[in-house]
Structure 1
Amino acid sequence: MPHTAEWRVRLHLFEDDDGTTKAHVVLDTGTTALTAHGTAHCHPADADVAEIGDELAAGRGLRSIAQQLLDIAERDIEGMGSSRPGPRQVTERSSPR
């Protein structure tokens, strides 16, 4: 049975006066909205490069969303009476060679 879905991700980045970059991530599936946050701090000895802070904060926020999705999928699988998947079962499948 074919299935198509579109999920929307909103990612907002903010930098504080103290050099802390914060990311606020919202994943909207149409039926559920997941939110997460990520932060990055510039070490005082490092050059303040805004792009790096954005990348770190966004990556950490997105990683949190990914973990939430995996946790939800595991609970859904268990709710259907199936056994809890191992790490390999939840990861992406590799394409056939």
Structure 2
Amino acid sequence: MSTAKRWTIEVLVDEEGGRTYAEACLQSGADTRLVGIGRAKLNPSDRDIPEIGDELAAARALCDLGQRLLVSAARDIQAVTHEPVRLSR
């Protein structure tokens, strides 16, 4: 019988003066916490629509988090196998 696990990702978004910053924080276990970072900047010639900056920064933070999770998995595999590991997206 399999056991379901719950991993929680919290995305925090802050915007000021046309610049948006996002952090995607993953809590996957008792000791595992990873953070991805994303940023977006309003082009001066574009209309200021804060929701779009939020979406871009959050998406970039989630992509960064995914990459960090792959790196963490590769390190864990390498620690067990003692072989070089190369994971791709």
Q: Do these two structures clear the TM 0.5 threshold for a shared fold by scoring above it?
A: yes
Deviation at 1:22, TM superposition (A): 1.0
Q: The residue matched to 1:36 in structure 2 has which SS?
A: strand
Q: The residue matched to 2:56 in structure 1 has which SS?
A: helix
Considering Cα pairs closer than 8 Å and 6+ residues apart, tell me whether 1 or 2 has the greater RCO.
Answer: 2
CA distance in 2 between counterparts of 1:42 and 1:71 reads 31
**Structure 2 counterpart of 1:22:** 21
CA distance in 1 between counterparts of 2:57 and 2:87 reads 28
Deviations along 1:57-92, one digit per CA (max 9) or x if unpaired, are 0011111110110001111111111551442xxx4x
Deviation at 1:41, TM superposition (A): 0.2
| TM-score between both structures, scaled by the size of structure 1 | 0.79
Question: Unpaired runs of 5+ in structure 1?
Answer: 92-97
Question: Unpaired runs of 5+ in structure 2?
Answer: none
**Structure 1 counterpart of 2:43:** 43
Q: How many residues align?
A: 87
Letter in 1 for 2:77: I
**Structure 2 counterpart of 1:94:** none
Matched, 1:76 2:65: no
